[in-house]
Amino acid sequence: MSTVELRELDALRSGDEEAFMALVRRHQAAMIRVAQIYVSRRDVAEEVVQEAWLGAFRGLERFEGRSSFKTWLFRIVANLAKTRAVREARTIPFSALRTPESVPEPAVEPERFRSWDDPRWPGHWASKPTEWPEHRLLQSESLAHIDDAIAALPDSQRAVITLRDVEGWSAEEVCNALELSETNQRVLLHRARSKVRGALERYFDE
């Protein structure tokens, strides 16, 4: 654990409200997103997160710092959300998170490439990507399209891209919190990023 985390933990144990609220503001949105992998309803996910904080307070004394506090906290969220999902008998394809769907999801539509029996350039671009207009990139409408594209992803892909690219977590942190193998984390991230890029491309090509 980092010294910053150790200091935060001490503050939390001593009941420091400011330290607690700082943690809440930093992690709450991501905690809800992780809960939503298992329970899709937003209100249920928020309940799960409230429950997770309570679980974290109770476990604080026993927390030994073998993993980072963040990893530990998000594991609590994921476990409670799983339990809740089972209780609500929503059929969850748990395997969907551990093993990305085995159906291939090409990053780019196959029609964009020349066929494999093309005499000169098999598998090369038939319809090339063109550069995006720099001045439009940071417009709020572009960002809104990214937001929508992420929201439309399957749960596990959405969780991974949100933690990695929106929240800025490392691959290792995501693997730990979501109990994913390195490879599966990467496949989910790849599919998610590829789809979001595709959505942006369609928007800029309109």
Contact residues toward other proteins (CB under 8 A) are: 15, 17, 20-21, 24-25, 28-30, 32, 46, 50, 53-54, 57-58, 106-108, 110, 113, 122-125, 128-132, 137-138, 142-143, 146-147, 150, 161, 165-168, 171, 182, 186, 189-190, 193-194, 196-197, 200-201
The Cα–Cα gap between 111 and 199 comes to: 16
| Cβ-contact 107, 194 below 8 angstroms | yes
**159 or 196: CB nearest other proteins:** 196
Minimum Å gap between C-beta 23 and other proteins is: 10
Q: Which residues contact 193 (CB under 8 A, 6 or more apart)?
A: 161, 165
95 or 127: whose CB is closer to other proteins? 127
Q: Which is nearer to other proteins, 23 or 92 (CB)?
A: 23
Taking the complex as a whole, the smallest distance from the CB of residue 91 to other proteins amounts, in Å, to: 28
Report in angstroms how near the CB of residue 62 gets to other proteins at its nearest. 14
User: What's the token pair of residue 80?
Assistant: 């409670």
- Supply the minimum distance, in Å, between the C-beta of residue 121 and other proteins: 8
Q: 122-131 — which CB contacts under 8 Å span 24+ positions? A: 129/201, 130/205
State the number of CA atoms in the 13 A half-sphere of 72 facing the CB: 18
- How far apart, in whole angstroms, are the C-alpha atoms of residue 79 and residue 178? 10
Q: Which is nearer to other proteins, 86 or 121 (CB)?
A: 121
